Amino acid sequence: MEKVGFIGLGIMGKPMALNLLKAGYPMSILSKSSAAPALTEAGAKACSTSKELAQHSDIIITMLPDSPDVEQVVSGADGVLEGIQSGALFIDMSTIAPATAVKIYHLMQAKGVEALDAPVSGGQVGAVGATLSIMVGGSAAAFERALPLFQAMGKNIVHIGEPGAGQTTKACNQMIVGMTIQAVAEAFALAQKAGVDLEKMREVLLGGFAQSRILDLHGKRMIDRNFTPGFKIKLHKKDMGIALQTGEEFSVPLKGTALVAAQMEAAVAQGNGELDHSSLLLLLEK
């Protein structure tokens, strides 16, 4: 099996890497990660730098918070580009700007390396259960090579198109998710103020046209006041910014996205940036 290097062992990355280990892939990780002990116990090899990790890997996967983080890991001192070998495959599964994904693709091409942008949706639950949706940009050949790894981490796996297409799709996903959370939070805030039983309201709405995964899972979070992060609101705020930036690049006005982005900005300013994105409800209540 191909040797995998995995960089970014956070809420999502750690279970994704563990699922690859369970599938039998030899793996290298960075020793500085707080999750390194759990991964090495599961069989991973620890490396001190991204350069060293790339030297020992056929396929390198990154799962990092933002565009600058990915660029630093790729192009910074002792970065992936310094160690990656011609013929390797680089897969970024972070959520970053489509323009950054295209830039990294060209950097990798100059090294004789194929690159995929393959962001995911499904949250921590999907990462743990290996049921993520994976949207992929890049060449068809690179996608076919990566498919067995994707199948170890997700269920709904689609090759969208050219480099950057995966990240554009993810931006659209985050727009829809963000605006749906806003709609559910507003509805719950109104119903609560009017004295309506939220459990019963959620039950009946799930049987009608308002049914959604957000209403199901995040509606339950709101009722239970459980805002332990599956996906932090500060990261969703970042994603909405990526969507707005992409909208500007293509001259597409995104008024609903801008509204929810402002709400998320206010929630972060309120001190709730580390909470789950369903905590938008708290802003409306306040």
Residues recognised as catalytic: 170
Instruction: Give every CB contact of residue 229 below 8 A, 6+ residues apart in sequence.
Output: 11, 124, 274, 275, 276
Angle of helix 67-75 versus helix 98-109 axis, rounded to 10: 10
∠ at Cα 280 (274, 283), nearest 5°?
100
**How many Cα atoms are found within 13 Å in the side-chain-facing hemisphere of 84?**
27
Q: 50, 81 in Cβ contact below 8 A?
A: no
Rounded distance, CA 25 to CA 21, Å?
5
Amino acid, res. 157: I
Rounded distance, CA 65 to CA 34, Å?
15
Cα-Cα end-to-end distance for the chain? 53
